[in-house]
Amino acid sequence: MAAVAATLAFGSSAVQAAEAEPGGKLLLTGGVSALEGGGGGGVATWALIGGNETSRGVGGSVHATYVNVPDYELRSAGVTLGLFDRVELSLARQDFDTGATGAKLGLGQGFTFKQTVAGVKVRLLGDAVYDQDTWLPQVAVGVQFKQNDQPAIVRAVGAQDDTGIDYYAAATKVLLDRSLVVSGAVRLTKANQTGLLGFGGDKHDRYGAQFEGSAGWLVSKRLLVGAEYRTKPDNLGFAKEDDWADVFVAYAFSKTLSVTAAYADLGDIATFKNQRGLYVSLQAGF
Amino acid sequence: MRLILAATALSLTFAGVAFAQQPVPPGEQPVEPYVQSNANAGATPMKDKAVLEAFHGKDGIARITSDLVDRNISDPRIKDIFATADIVRLKRTLSEQFCYILAGPASDGGCDYTGKDMSATHQYQGITPRDFNILVENLQKAMDKEGVPFAAQNKLLAKLAPMSRQVIERR
Protein backbone atom coordinates (compact mmCIF):
# COMPACT_ATOMS: atom_id res chain seq x y z
CA MET A 1 0.00 0.00 0.00
CA ALA A 2 2.82 2.35 0.88
CA ALA A 3 4.44 1.47 -2.43
CA VAL A 4 1.28 2.49 -4.25
CA ALA A 5 1.29 5.81 -2.43
CA ALA A 6 4.93 6.35 -3.22
CA THR A 7 4.41 5.56 -6.90
CA LEU A 8 1.43 7.89 -7.10
CA ALA A 9 3.32 10.64 -5.35
CA PHE A 10 6.36 10.21 -7.56
CA GLY A 11 4.36 9.93 -10.78
CA SER A 12 2.41 13.06 -10.07
CA SER A 13 5.32 15.12 -8.80
CA ALA A 14 7.33 14.35 -11.91
CA VAL A 15 4.58 15.77 -14.09
CA GLN A 16 3.28 18.52 -11.86
CA ALA A 17 6.19 19.63 -9.69
CA ALA A 18 6.20 23.09 -11.21
CA GLU A 19 2.45 23.54 -10.91
CA ALA A 20 1.45 21.65 -7.74
CA GLU A 21 -1.37 23.49 -6.05
CA PRO A 22 -1.91 23.64 -2.32
CA GLY A 23 -5.47 23.70 -0.99
CA GLY A 24 -8.51 24.08 -3.17
CA LYS A 25 -11.05 21.77 -1.57
CA LEU A 26 -14.46 23.10 -0.64
CA LEU A 27 -15.19 23.54 3.08
CA LEU A 28 -15.78 20.30 5.01
CA THR A 29 -15.37 18.15 1.87
CA GLY A 30 -12.34 16.45 3.41
CA GLY A 31 -14.48 15.38 6.33
CA VAL A 32 -13.36 15.93 9.91
CA SER A 33 -10.88 13.74 11.79
CA ALA A 34 -12.21 10.43 13.04
CA LEU A 35 -11.23 9.02 16.44
CA GLU A 36 -8.87 6.52 14.81
CA GLY A 37 -7.38 9.16 12.50
CA GLY A 38 -8.14 9.98 8.89
CA GLY A 39 -11.18 11.64 7.34
CA GLY A 40 -14.52 10.75 8.82
CA GLY A 41 -17.22 11.89 11.18
CA GLY A 42 -16.38 11.27 14.83
CA VAL A 43 -16.57 7.54 15.52
CA ALA A 44 -17.25 6.58 11.88
CA THR A 45 -14.79 6.47 9.00
CA TRP A 46 -15.78 8.08 5.70
CA ALA A 47 -14.61 7.60 2.10
CA LEU A 48 -13.44 11.24 1.93
CA ILE A 49 -9.71 11.89 1.76
CA GLY A 50 -8.45 14.24 4.50
CA GLY A 51 -6.58 17.46 3.84
CA ASN A 52 -7.58 20.48 1.77
CA GLU A 53 -5.84 19.31 -1.38
CA THR A 54 -7.37 18.53 -4.75
CA SER A 55 -6.10 15.93 -7.21
CA ARG A 56 -3.19 18.30 -7.94
CA GLY A 57 -1.74 18.73 -4.50
CA VAL A 58 -0.92 17.52 -1.04
CA GLY A 59 -2.82 18.45 2.10
CA GLY A 60 -2.86 17.50 5.71
CA SER A 61 -4.32 18.07 9.13
CA VAL A 62 -3.69 17.54 12.81
CA HIS A 63 -6.39 16.81 15.35
CA ALA A 64 -6.87 16.62 19.09
CA THR A 65 -9.95 14.90 20.48
CA TYR A 66 -11.26 14.64 24.03
CA VAL A 67 -14.10 12.38 25.14
CA ASN A 68 -15.39 12.54 28.70
CA VAL A 69 -17.81 9.84 29.86
CA PRO A 70 -18.75 9.15 33.51
CA ASP A 71 -16.08 6.56 34.33
CA TYR A 72 -13.38 7.15 31.69
CA GLU A 73 -11.62 9.72 29.54
CA LEU A 74 -10.47 9.16 26.01
CA ARG A 75 -7.93 11.43 24.36
CA SER A 76 -6.77 11.16 20.77
CA ALA A 77 -4.27 13.14 18.77
CA GLY A 78 -3.11 12.53 15.25
CA VAL A 79 -1.92 13.64 11.86
CA THR A 80 -3.45 13.01 8.46
CA LEU A 81 -1.77 13.44 5.10
CA GLY A 82 -3.85 13.63 1.93
CA LEU A 83 -2.07 12.90 -1.36
CA PHE A 84 -3.76 14.15 -4.54
CA ASP A 85 -7.23 13.53 -3.07
CA ARG A 86 -6.49 9.87 -3.72
CA VAL A 87 -4.45 8.41 -0.87
CA GLU A 88 -4.72 9.25 2.80
CA LEU A 89 -2.07 8.36 5.37
CA SER A 90 -2.95 8.79 9.02
CA LEU A 91 -1.40 8.27 12.41
CA ALA A 92 -3.36 8.56 15.66
CA ARG A 93 -2.46 8.02 19.27
CA GLN A 94 -5.31 7.16 21.63
CA ASP A 95 -5.11 7.38 25.42
CA PHE A 96 -7.89 5.59 27.28
CA ASP A 97 -7.62 6.93 30.82
CA THR A 98 -9.44 4.86 33.45
CA GLY A 99 -8.99 7.54 36.13
CA ALA A 100 -10.55 6.56 39.46
CA THR A 101 -12.19 3.59 37.70
CA GLY A 102 -8.72 2.08 37.27
CA ALA A 103 -8.48 1.46 41.00
CA LYS A 104 -11.91 -0.24 41.03
CA LEU A 105 -10.82 -2.47 38.14
CA GLY A 106 -7.66 -3.38 40.04
CA LEU A 107 -5.46 -1.63 37.50
CA GLY A 108 -4.51 1.28 39.70
CA GLN A 109 -5.66 4.89 39.85
CA GLY A 110 -5.26 6.66 36.51
CA PHE A 111 -4.25 3.53 34.62
CA THR A 112 -4.15 4.45 30.93
CA PHE A 113 -4.32 2.16 27.92
CA LYS A 114 -2.55 3.60 24.90
CA GLN A 115 -3.00 2.62 21.31
CA THR A 116 -1.32 3.74 18.10
CA VAL A 117 -3.29 3.52 14.85
CA ALA A 118 -1.56 3.84 11.48
CA GLY A 119 -3.97 4.04 8.57
CA VAL A 120 -3.89 3.99 4.79
CA LYS A 121 -6.98 4.82 2.74
CA VAL A 122 -7.30 4.81 -1.04
CA ARG A 123 -10.18 6.37 -2.96
CA LEU A 124 -11.22 3.83 -5.57
CA LEU A 125 -13.97 5.57 -7.47
CA GLY A 126 -16.54 8.32 -7.47
CA ASP A 127 -16.51 11.88 -6.24
CA ALA A 128 -18.79 12.53 -3.27
CA VAL A 129 -19.28 16.18 -4.24
CA TYR A 130 -19.08 16.48 -8.04
CA ASP A 131 -21.05 13.37 -9.08
CA GLN A 132 -24.47 14.87 -8.39
CA ASP A 133 -26.11 13.33 -11.48
CA THR A 134 -25.67 9.77 -10.24
CA TRP A 135 -26.35 7.82 -7.07
CA LEU A 136 -22.82 6.44 -7.24
CA PRO A 137 -21.00 7.41 -4.03
CA GLN A 138 -17.31 8.03 -3.44
CA VAL A 139 -15.86 4.66 -2.50
CA ALA A 140 -12.63 4.06 -0.61
CA VAL A 141 -10.94 1.10 1.03
CA GLY A 142 -8.54 1.23 3.91
CA VAL A 143 -6.44 -0.58 6.43
CA GLN A 144 -5.68 0.40 10.02
CA PHE A 145 -2.72 -1.12 11.84
CA LYS A 146 -3.28 -0.96 15.58
CA GLN A 147 -0.82 -1.49 18.40
CA ASN A 148 -1.91 -1.53 22.05
CA ASP A 149 0.80 -0.72 24.60
CA GLN A 150 -0.53 -3.01 27.38
CA PRO A 151 -0.01 -6.57 26.08
CA ALA A 152 -0.12 -8.17 29.55
CA ILE A 153 -3.27 -6.38 30.73
CA VAL A 154 -5.30 -6.88 27.54
CA ARG A 155 -4.44 -10.60 27.64
CA ALA A 156 -5.42 -10.73 31.30
CA VAL A 157 -8.94 -9.51 30.42
CA GLY A 158 -9.24 -12.18 27.73
CA ALA A 159 -7.91 -10.54 24.55
CA GLN A 160 -5.85 -12.81 22.31
CA ASP A 161 -3.53 -10.17 20.90
CA ASP A 162 -2.17 -6.68 21.53
CA THR A 163 -1.94 -5.84 17.82
CA GLY A 164 -4.61 -5.98 15.17
CA ILE A 165 -5.42 -4.96 11.63
CA ASP A 166 -8.80 -3.54 10.61
CA TYR A 167 -9.89 -3.62 6.96
CA TYR A 168 -12.72 -1.42 5.76
CA ALA A 169 -14.62 -0.22 2.72
CA ALA A 170 -16.46 3.09 2.97
CA ALA A 171 -18.96 4.85 0.71
CA THR A 172 -19.80 8.53 1.16
CA LYS A 173 -22.19 10.73 -0.77
CA VAL A 174 -23.11 14.39 -0.57
CA LEU A 175 -26.72 14.73 -1.73
CA LEU A 176 -26.40 18.42 -2.60
CA ASP A 177 -29.98 18.93 -3.76
CA ARG A 178 -31.11 17.78 -0.31
CA SER A 179 -28.14 19.33 1.57
CA LEU A 180 -27.38 15.93 3.08
CA VAL A 181 -24.22 13.90 3.63
CA VAL A 182 -24.60 10.15 4.05
CA SER A 183 -21.89 7.62 4.66
CA GLY A 184 -21.59 3.94 5.37
CA ALA A 185 -18.67 1.64 6.02
CA VAL A 186 -18.13 -2.05 6.58
CA ARG A 187 -15.19 -2.88 8.82
CA LEU A 188 -13.59 -6.29 9.28
CA THR A 189 -12.15 -6.24 12.77
CA LYS A 190 -11.30 -8.22 15.89
CA ALA A 191 -10.74 -5.07 17.97
CA ASN A 192 -12.21 -4.76 21.47
CA GLN A 193 -13.31 -1.15 22.09
CA THR A 194 -11.52 -0.23 18.81
CA GLY A 195 -8.40 -2.03 20.12
CA LEU A 196 -8.08 -0.18 23.44
CA LEU A 197 -8.82 -3.54 25.13
CA GLY A 198 -6.82 -5.59 22.63
CA PHE A 199 -7.89 -7.84 19.79
CA GLY A 200 -9.92 -11.04 19.74
CA GLY A 201 -11.17 -12.58 22.94
CA ASP A 202 -12.03 -15.57 25.04
CA LYS A 203 -15.62 -15.52 23.67
CA HIS A 204 -14.77 -14.93 19.98
CA ASP A 205 -11.49 -14.68 18.13
CA ARG A 206 -12.53 -14.34 14.51
CA TYR A 207 -12.81 -11.38 12.14
CA GLY A 208 -16.39 -10.12 11.97
CA ALA A 209 -18.02 -7.50 9.75
CA GLN A 210 -19.11 -4.38 11.61
CA PHE A 211 -21.09 -1.43 10.23
CA GLU A 212 -20.55 2.32 10.56
CA GLY A 213 -23.23 4.74 9.38
CA SER A 214 -23.47 8.53 9.40
CA ALA A 215 -26.02 11.02 8.20
CA GLY A 216 -25.63 14.77 8.34
CA TRP A 217 -27.50 17.86 7.29
CA LEU A 218 -25.57 20.76 5.80
CA VAL A 219 -27.11 23.75 7.57
CA SER A 220 -24.67 26.15 5.93
CA LYS A 221 -21.40 25.77 4.08
CA ARG A 222 -19.67 25.88 7.46
CA LEU A 223 -22.03 23.79 9.57
CA LEU A 224 -22.91 20.11 9.48
CA VAL A 225 -25.17 18.48 12.08
CA GLY A 226 -25.76 14.76 12.15
CA ALA A 227 -25.70 11.42 13.85
CA GLU A 228 -23.52 8.32 13.70
CA TYR A 229 -23.84 4.68 14.61
CA ARG A 230 -21.10 2.09 14.84
CA THR A 231 -21.55 -1.58 15.62
CA LYS A 232 -18.80 -3.36 17.55
CA PRO A 233 -17.76 -6.92 18.22
CA ASP A 234 -18.35 -8.52 21.62
CA ASN A 235 -15.34 -10.79 22.10
CA LEU A 236 -14.54 -10.54 25.80
CA GLY A 237 -16.18 -12.72 28.44
CA PHE A 238 -15.61 -10.37 31.41
CA ALA A 239 -17.61 -7.45 30.02
CA LYS A 240 -20.24 -6.91 27.37
CA GLU A 241 -19.24 -4.49 24.58
CA ASP A 242 -21.90 -2.17 23.13
CA ASP A 243 -22.39 -0.34 19.85
CA TRP A 244 -21.48 3.34 19.76
CA ALA A 245 -23.71 6.22 18.71
CA ASP A 246 -23.48 9.99 18.72
CA VAL A 247 -25.10 13.18 17.56
CA PHE A 248 -22.62 15.75 16.33
CA VAL A 249 -22.09 19.30 15.13
CA ALA A 250 -19.12 20.04 12.87
CA TYR A 251 -18.26 23.68 12.26
CA ALA A 252 -15.57 25.01 9.93
CA PHE A 253 -14.27 28.37 11.16
CA SER A 254 -12.15 28.47 8.01
CA LYS A 255 -10.42 26.10 5.65
CA THR A 256 -7.68 25.67 8.22
CA LEU A 257 -9.63 25.31 11.45
CA SER A 258 -12.71 23.31 12.40
CA VAL A 259 -14.32 21.89 15.51
CA THR A 260 -16.54 18.88 16.08
CA ALA A 261 -18.68 18.58 19.19
CA ALA A 262 -20.80 15.54 19.92
CA TYR A 263 -22.85 13.84 22.55
CA ALA A 264 -21.66 10.24 22.43
CA ASP A 265 -23.18 7.07 23.84
CA LEU A 266 -20.38 4.52 24.21
CA GLY A 267 -22.58 2.02 26.10
CA ASP A 268 -21.00 -0.26 28.70
CA ILE A 269 -17.20 -0.28 28.85
CA ALA A 270 -15.33 -2.86 30.93
CA THR A 271 -18.36 -3.55 33.20
CA PHE A 272 -19.07 0.15 33.78
CA LYS A 273 -22.50 0.93 32.40
CA ASN A 274 -23.96 3.74 30.27
CA GLN A 275 -20.86 5.65 29.29
CA ARG A 276 -22.39 8.76 27.76
CA GLY A 277 -20.77 12.13 27.47
CA LEU A 278 -19.22 14.95 25.56
CA TYR A 279 -16.91 14.50 22.58
CA VAL A 280 -14.90 17.51 21.40
CA SER A 281 -12.41 17.53 18.54
CA LEU A 282 -10.34 20.38 17.15
CA GLN A 283 -8.58 20.15 13.85
CA ALA A 284 -6.23 22.34 11.90
CA GLY A 285 -5.18 21.62 8.36
CA PHE A 286 -3.95 22.86 5.03
CA MET B 1 1.48 27.47 -21.34
CA ARG B 2 -1.83 29.08 -20.56
CA LEU B 3 -0.71 32.23 -22.40
CA ILE B 4 0.11 30.32 -25.56
CA LEU B 5 -3.21 28.52 -25.45
CA ALA B 6 -5.05 31.76 -24.80
CA ALA B 7 -3.30 33.33 -27.77
CA THR B 8 -4.26 30.38 -29.92
CA ALA B 9 -7.86 30.66 -28.78
CA LEU B 10 -7.79 34.38 -29.53
CA SER B 11 -6.45 33.89 -33.05
CA LEU B 12 -9.09 31.24 -33.65
CA THR B 13 -11.70 33.76 -32.56
CA PHE B 14 -10.37 36.36 -34.99
CA ALA B 15 -10.17 33.77 -37.77
CA GLY B 16 -13.84 33.05 -37.18
CA VAL B 17 -14.95 36.65 -37.57
CA ALA B 18 -15.21 36.42 -41.32
CA PHE B 19 -17.53 33.45 -41.06
CA ALA B 20 -19.77 34.79 -38.30
CA GLN B 21 -23.36 34.36 -39.34
CA GLN B 22 -25.30 34.85 -36.14
CA PRO B 23 -26.25 38.43 -35.28
CA VAL B 24 -23.83 39.89 -32.76
CA PRO B 25 -25.62 41.32 -29.69
CA PRO B 26 -24.64 44.91 -28.83
CA GLY B 27 -21.42 45.23 -26.89
CA GLU B 28 -20.24 41.73 -27.74
CA GLN B 29 -17.52 40.47 -30.04
CA PRO B 30 -18.49 38.19 -32.92
CA VAL B 31 -17.92 34.44 -32.47
CA GLU B 32 -17.52 31.58 -34.91
CA PRO B 33 -20.84 30.08 -35.87
CA TYR B 34 -22.00 27.06 -33.85
CA VAL B 35 -25.23 25.16 -33.37
CA GLN B 36 -27.32 26.76 -30.67
CA SER B 37 -29.30 24.42 -28.44
CA ASN B 38 -30.56 24.27 -24.88
CA ALA B 39 -28.70 20.96 -24.69
CA ASN B 40 -25.51 23.09 -24.61
CA ALA B 41 -26.52 24.27 -21.12
CA GLY B 42 -25.14 21.00 -19.75
CA ALA B 43 -28.02 20.36 -17.36
CA THR B 44 -31.76 19.77 -17.51
CA PRO B 45 -34.21 22.31 -16.05
CA MET B 46 -35.33 21.96 -12.47
CA LYS B 47 -38.92 20.87 -11.89
CA ASP B 48 -39.30 22.69 -8.57
CA LYS B 49 -40.37 26.30 -9.25
CA ALA B 50 -39.92 27.17 -5.56
CA VAL B 51 -36.17 27.29 -6.23
CA LEU B 52 -36.70 29.94 -8.92
CA GLU B 53 -38.59 32.03 -6.35
CA ALA B 54 -35.74 31.59 -3.87
CA PHE B 55 -33.46 33.08 -6.57
CA HIS B 56 -35.87 36.03 -6.95
CA GLY B 57 -36.80 35.07 -10.50
CA LYS B 58 -35.01 36.10 -13.67
CA ASP B 59 -33.94 39.45 -12.20
CA GLY B 60 -32.29 37.74 -9.24
CA ILE B 61 -30.52 35.31 -11.56
CA ALA B 62 -29.20 38.19 -13.69
CA ARG B 63 -27.88 39.97 -10.57
CA ILE B 64 -26.20 36.79 -9.30
CA THR B 65 -24.52 35.91 -12.61
CA SER B 66 -23.32 39.49 -13.13
CA ASP B 67 -21.93 39.60 -9.59
CA LEU B 68 -20.33 36.17 -10.06
CA VAL B 69 -18.52 37.28 -13.22
CA ASP B 70 -17.38 40.49 -11.51
CA ARG B 71 -16.02 38.47 -8.58
CA ASN B 72 -14.20 36.04 -10.88
CA ILE B 73 -12.53 38.68 -13.05
CA SER B 74 -11.26 40.51 -9.97
CA ASP B 75 -10.24 37.38 -8.04
CA PRO B 76 -6.41 37.25 -8.13
CA ARG B 77 -6.53 33.44 -7.93
CA ILE B 78 -8.50 32.92 -11.15
CA LYS B 79 -8.78 36.24 -12.99
CA ASP B 80 -6.14 35.23 -15.57
CA ILE B 81 -8.55 32.60 -16.91
CA PHE B 82 -10.86 35.43 -17.95
CA ALA B 83 -8.12 37.63 -19.45
CA THR B 84 -9.35 37.17 -23.04
CA ALA B 85 -13.03 36.56 -22.26
CA ASP B 86 -15.83 38.65 -23.76
CA ILE B 87 -17.31 39.74 -20.43
CA VAL B 88 -20.53 41.12 -21.89
CA ARG B 89 -21.20 37.86 -23.68
CA LEU B 90 -20.14 35.80 -20.66
CA LYS B 91 -22.61 37.61 -18.38
CA ARG B 92 -25.42 37.19 -20.92
CA THR B 93 -24.87 33.49 -21.64
CA LEU B 94 -24.24 32.60 -17.99
CA SER B 95 -27.48 34.31 -17.02
CA GLU B 96 -29.30 32.42 -19.80
CA GLN B 97 -27.81 29.14 -18.62
CA PHE B 98 -28.81 29.60 -14.96
CA CYS B 99 -32.25 30.86 -16.06
CA TYR B 100 -32.75 27.80 -18.32
CA ILE B 101 -31.75 25.45 -15.47
CA LEU B 102 -33.88 27.20 -12.84
CA ALA B 103 -36.89 28.32 -14.91
CA GLY B 104 -36.90 26.07 -17.97
CA PRO B 105 -36.88 27.08 -21.67
CA ALA B 106 -38.35 30.34 -22.99
CA SER B 107 -41.40 28.41 -24.21
CA ASP B 108 -42.08 27.54 -20.57
CA GLY B 109 -41.59 31.09 -19.25
CA GLY B 110 -37.85 30.73 -18.69
CA CYS B 111 -34.90 31.37 -21.02
CA ASP B 112 -33.19 29.65 -23.91
CA TYR B 113 -29.45 29.14 -23.62
CA THR B 114 -27.62 30.44 -26.69
CA GLY B 115 -24.03 29.78 -25.61
CA LYS B 116 -21.68 26.99 -26.55
CA ASP B 117 -21.54 23.71 -24.66
CA MET B 118 -19.43 23.35 -21.51
CA SER B 119 -16.55 21.52 -23.24
CA ALA B 120 -16.24 24.09 -26.04
CA THR B 121 -16.55 27.10 -23.70
CA HIS B 122 -13.82 25.93 -21.36
CA GLN B 123 -11.47 24.32 -23.84
CA TYR B 124 -7.80 25.41 -23.63
CA GLN B 125 -8.40 27.33 -20.39
CA GLY B 126 -6.47 24.77 -18.38
CA ILE B 127 -8.95 24.90 -15.52
CA THR B 128 -7.93 22.89 -12.43
CA PRO B 129 -10.12 21.43 -9.67
CA ARG B 130 -9.04 24.29 -7.42
CA ASP B 131 -10.07 26.88 -10.04
CA PHE B 132 -13.45 25.14 -10.29
CA ASN B 133 -13.93 25.18 -6.52
CA ILE B 134 -12.94 28.86 -6.32
CA LEU B 135 -15.66 29.56 -8.86
CA VAL B 136 -18.13 27.62 -6.69
CA GLU B 137 -17.09 29.69 -3.66
CA ASN B 138 -17.56 32.92 -5.60
CA LEU B 139 -20.99 31.71 -6.73
CA GLN B 140 -21.90 30.96 -3.11
CA LYS B 141 -20.90 34.52 -2.18
CA ALA B 142 -22.98 35.93 -5.04
CA MET B 143 -26.00 33.85 -3.99
CA ASP B 144 -25.50 34.88 -0.35
CA LYS B 145 -25.47 38.53 -1.44
CA GLU B 146 -28.79 38.00 -3.25
CA GLY B 147 -30.17 36.36 -0.10
CA VAL B 148 -30.76 32.93 -1.62
CA PRO B 149 -31.28 30.36 1.18
CA PHE B 150 -28.49 27.75 1.47
CA ALA B 151 -30.77 24.78 0.65
CA ALA B 152 -31.87 26.46 -2.62
CA GLN B 153 -28.24 27.34 -3.44
CA ASN B 154 -27.35 23.66 -3.16
CA LYS B 155 -30.10 22.69 -5.59
CA LEU B 156 -28.45 24.83 -8.26
CA LEU B 157 -24.95 23.62 -7.28
CA ALA B 158 -26.18 20.02 -7.64
CA LYS B 159 -27.03 20.84 -11.29
CA LEU B 160 -23.68 22.54 -11.92
CA ALA B 161 -21.38 20.09 -10.10
CA PRO B 162 -21.34 17.35 -12.80
CA MET B 163 -20.16 20.00 -15.33
CA SER B 164 -16.79 19.72 -13.57
CA ARG B 165 -16.14 16.77 -15.92
CA GLN B 166 -16.22 19.08 -18.96
CA VAL B 167 -14.87 22.23 -17.28
CA ILE B 168 -11.84 20.84 -15.45
CA GLU B 169 -9.06 20.25 -17.97
CA ARG B 170 -5.99 19.70 -15.78
CA ARG B 171 -6.56 17.08 -13.10
Q: Which CATH class is domain B38-167?
A: mainly alpha
Number of domains within chain A: 1
Kindly report the CATH number assigned to the domain that includes residue A182.
2.40.160.40
Give the structural domain span for A73: 2-14+29-285
Question: Taking CB atoms and an 8 Å limit, are A24 and B161 in contact across chains?
Answer: no
Interface test with A, best of B101, B143, B144, B150 (most A CBs within 10 A): B150
- Length reported for chain B: 171
For residue A24, the model assigns a pLDDT of 82
For residue A154, the model assigns a pLDDT of 96
Identity at B149, one-letter amino acid code: P
Residues of B in contact with A130 (CB under 8 A): 161-162, 164-165
| B47 vs A: CB within 8 A | no
For residue A237, the model assigns a pLDDT of 96
For residue A23, the model assigns a pLDDT of 80
For residue B21, the model assigns a pLDDT of 54
- Whether A116 is in a domain gets the answer yes
Question: Taking CB atoms and an 8 Å limit, are B129 and A218 in contact across chains?
Answer: no
- Whether A211 is in a domain gets the answer yes
Interface test with A, best of B128, B138, B163, B169 (most A CBs within 10 A): B128
- Whether A20 is in a domain gets the answer no
pLDDT average per 10 residues of sequence, chain B (171 residues): 49 45 86 95 95 98 98 97 96 98 96 96 94 96 98 97 95 88
For residue A2, the model assigns a pLDDT of 40
Pick the residue from chain A with its C-alpha nearest to B151.
A179
- Whether A53 is in a domain gets the answer yes
Interface of A with B in 16-75 (CB under 8 A): 19, 21, 23-26, 54-57
- Whether A21 is in a domain gets the answer no
Q: What is the DSSP string of chain A?
A: -HHHHHHHHHHHHHHHGGG----BPPTTTT-EE-TTSSEESSSSB-SSPPSSB-TTSEEEEEEEEEEEETTEEEEEEEEEEEETTTEEEEEEEEEEE-HHHHHHTTS-TT-EEEEEEEEEEEEEE--TTT-TTSS--EEEEEEEEEEES-HHHHHHTT-SBSEEEEEEEEEEEEEGGGTEEEEEEEEEE-BGGGGTT-BS-SS--S-EEEEEEEEEEESSSSEEEEEEEE------SSS----EEEEEEEEESSSSEEEEEEEEE---BTTB---EEEEEEEEEE-
Query: What digits encode the pLDDT tens for the residues A71-119?
Result: 999 999 999 999 999 999 999 999 999 999 999 999 999 999 999 999 9
For residue A9, the model assigns a pLDDT of 40
Domain ranges of chain B: 38-167
- Whether A23 is in a domain gets the answer no
Question: Taking CB atoms and an 8 Å limit, are B150 and A220 in contact across chains?
Answer: yes
The ipTM is 0.89
Interface of B with A in 134-153 (CB under 8 A): 134, 136-137, 140, 150-151
Interface test with A, best of B134, B137, B144, B157 (most A CBs within 10 A): B157
Q: What is the pLDDT along chain A (286 residues), one digit of tens a residue?
A: 344 444 344 444 444 444 667 788 888 888 888 999 988 888 999 999 999 999 999 999 999 999 999 999 999 999 999 999 999 999 999 999 999 999 999 999 999 999 999 999 999 999 999 999 999 999 999 999 999 999 999 999 999 999 999 999 999 999 999 999 999 999 999 999 999 999 999 999 999 999 999 999 999 999 999 999 999 999 999 999 999 999 999 999 999 999 999 999 999 999 999 999 999 999 999 9
Indicate the pTM of the whole model. Answer: 0.89
